[in-house]
Amino acid sequence: MYTGVTRGSQVTGIAVMALSLTWISALLRLHVRTRILKFMGQEDWLMFATMILLTLLCSLFLSAKQYGLGAHMKNIPPTDKETGFKVIFICELLYVVTTAVAKLSIGVYFLRLCSKKYQTRVVYLTLAVVMVFTTTYFFFLLFQCTPINFLWTQFVNSQGSCLHSPILANVTYAHAAMSAITDWSFGILPIAFVWKMQMNPRTKFSVILILSLGFFASSATIVRIVYIRSLTQTRDYSWEAINLVKWSMVEPGIAITAANIATLRPLFNGSIFFARKNADKDEDDESVLGQRKLPNRHDRDTVSAKHYSPEFADMLGLSQARSSVTTEISAGTPNKTSAWFSLSRVLSRGRQKGDEMELEGWTDHRGGVEDWPPGIHKTTVITINK
């Protein structure tokens, strides 16, 4: 429908890549939630809504190729320009909605993982900023021309006016900066989730890594800012806009894929990278063999305060509290000044959902001793380790 060279094939490649990655990761996410966790939350429904929006966005960009997207303006007939600019206008609005719903899904997912009030406040504040900027930018784009349809009817001798390109670019810069900052906020927050939790260092690193993949979405946002500037310095919009169109698909595609991957950890528990049982066993054995005294009350409270919740463990495929049975053998008549000899041995390990302690003997909950008769006594304590 136009003559001359075109760069429209680039749109096809990016659209296929974005849709392939997002839909594959989305189907894996669906498998984890329905088959492994047997749970579907609000964040999952929001993410699948985002998938539908992204699919529609890519489809519209592909259809815009037929009306000159990627070709020079001088080679496109006026009627095709009208249709093409109408499609691009719809894509602009759809892009804003798609990125907003994706961030909303990520925020709702993080709210489920929050264990502290400040974490919840950070998520709510981030989502509030996203909604305010998104709503403002959406209506700014909607009414950038007066009347609205002048954006695409200006090529067929209609009457109206549009905002100057520098004004539109500055507002777009503000929206892109907000998008990058919120991506960084969601990228840093997972560190706070697990920083003080007791778990294997490799496990902690893997949790932070998969939850912080949103940093990659911010890189796409920054690249997109560069191409926004190029549109303010040319009138060959259909040719120069091709780069902005590509990154408008890449940015939500990366965000959606990263959000889906963050939910897939239960799927990889058996893989080499996520296999923790042997490493955890070695560390537990070393710590038990090196133990020469009963933990006091302060130590036990410190440990239990750092345990992650069962919901947090289930969502990320982490092992919950594991119990170990420790046998303490003491000789003599103990009192506050007596010496202790303890032999610790791990008899069994199991998985428990909560803390449980069973005592055989006359010990109290503080690890002290009351009314022990002379002789040799055995105390069995079930402790909880991460």
Q: What is the pLDDT of residue 313?
A: 67
Question: Quick one: pLDDT at residue 95?
Answer: 95
Whether the predicted pLDDT of 368 surpasses 80: no
- Single-letter residue type at 193: F
Predicted pLDDT of residue 307? 53
Q: How many residues does the chain have?
A: 386
State the pLDDT confidence band at 378, using cuts at 50, 70 and 90. low
CB-CB contact of 294 with 373 (8 Å):
no
pLDDT at 374: 57
Q: Which of 326, 333, 331 is nearest to 360 (CA)?
A: 326
Give per-residue pLDDT as tens, 209-249.
Answer: 878 877 777 888 888 888 887 777 788 888 988 999 999 99
Give residue-wise pLDDT tens across range 268-322.
765 544 444 444 444 444 444 344 343 443 333 333 334 566 666 666 666 554 4
Q: What is the pLDDT of residues 317-363, one digit of tens each?
A: 665 544 444 455 555 554 444 433 343 343 344 444 444 444 444 34
Interval 147-166: pLDDT, tens: 999 999 988 778 888 888 78
Percent of the chain with pLDDT over 90: 32
Give the count of alpha carbons within 13 A of 268, CB side only.
16
**What does the pLDDT look like over 8-56, one tens digit per residue?**
889 999 999 999 999 999 999 999 999 888 888 899 999 999 999 999 9
Q: Where are the domains of the chain?
A: 8-268, 277-385
Residue 195 clears pLDDT 70, i.e. is over it:
yes
- Residue 167 in this model has a pLDDT that exceeds 80: yes
Give the DSSP letter string of 76-125.
S-HHHHHHHHHHHHHHHHHHHHHHHHHHHHHHHHHHHH--SHHHHHHHHH
Which stretches of 115-214 are DSSP H helices? 117-142, 150-153, 165-194, 201-211
CA distances from 108 to 13, 103, 113, 120, 252 (A): 32, 9, 9, 10, 17
- The contacts of residue 260 (CB under 8 Å, 6+ apart) are 22, 25, 26, 28, 29, 47
Contact 229, 241 (CB under 8 A): no
Residue 309 has what DSSP assignment?
Answer: P
Predicted pLDDT at 134: 94
Please state which of the four CATH numbers 2.160.20, 3.40.50, 1.20.1070, 1.10.3470 is assigned to the domain occupying 8-268: 1.20.1070
93-144: per-residue pLDDT in tens? 999 999 999 999 999 999 988 888 888 999 999 999 999 999 999 999 999 9
pLDDT of 142: 94
CA distance 309 to 246: 41
* pLDDT at res. 247: 92
Match 């560390």 to its residue by tokens.
283
- What pLDDT score does 373 carry? 55
> Which residues lie below 8 Å from residue 252, measured CB to CB, with a gap of 6+?
18, 50, 54, 57, 95, 98, 99, 102
Report helix, strand and coil shares of the chain as percent, to nearest 5: 65, 10, 30
pLDDT for 1:
60
